[in-house]
Amino acid sequence: MGLYNRLSFEDQEAEAIQFRYGFCWSTEYRIGDEIDWGEYSRPSSARGRVFLRGLGERSTQQDMHYYSILIEDNVIVSVRRISKSDYDYLEQNEGCAQSLTK
């Protein structure tokens, strides 16, 4: 996946998720955190609702774990496991992010 950020959870048994959005430099996030853009100014697409795709860190070539991460007004709100076809849809619609109006 190259450079990415990481969404982790209080529950150590939960799988951490790798994703690309904001300043990608292996930044650790949790639900409720605001996305860091580093030295770059936040794009207008960071306002409103953004759906990102993510990969579970426990994925293997035979068993990939796909996730959708919801960001609202630049804050990580929720995450859920999704199918490969939903993951592919997010990938085809503006790469990693799909911005929606509220």
Query: Which has the closest alpha carbon to 8: 53, 71, 57?
Result: 57
**Could you list the mean pLDDT of each consecutive 10-residue stretch along the chain, which spans 102 residues?**
85 86 91 89 74 89 90 93 92 56 38
What's the sign of the alpha-carbon dihedral 15, 18, 23, 24?
Answer: positive
Structural domain total, the chain:
1
Q: How far is CA 35 from CA 32, 69, 85, 98, in A?
A: 10, 12, 26, 16
- DSSP per-residue string spanning 19-73: E--SS-SS-EE-TTPBPP-TTSPPPGGGSSEEEEEEEETT--SSS--EEEEEEET
Distance CA 53, CA 68 (A): 5
Domain of residue 41: give its range. Answer: 5-100
Q: pLDDT tens, 71-82? A: 999 999 999 999
Q: What is the pLDDT of residue 59?
A: 81
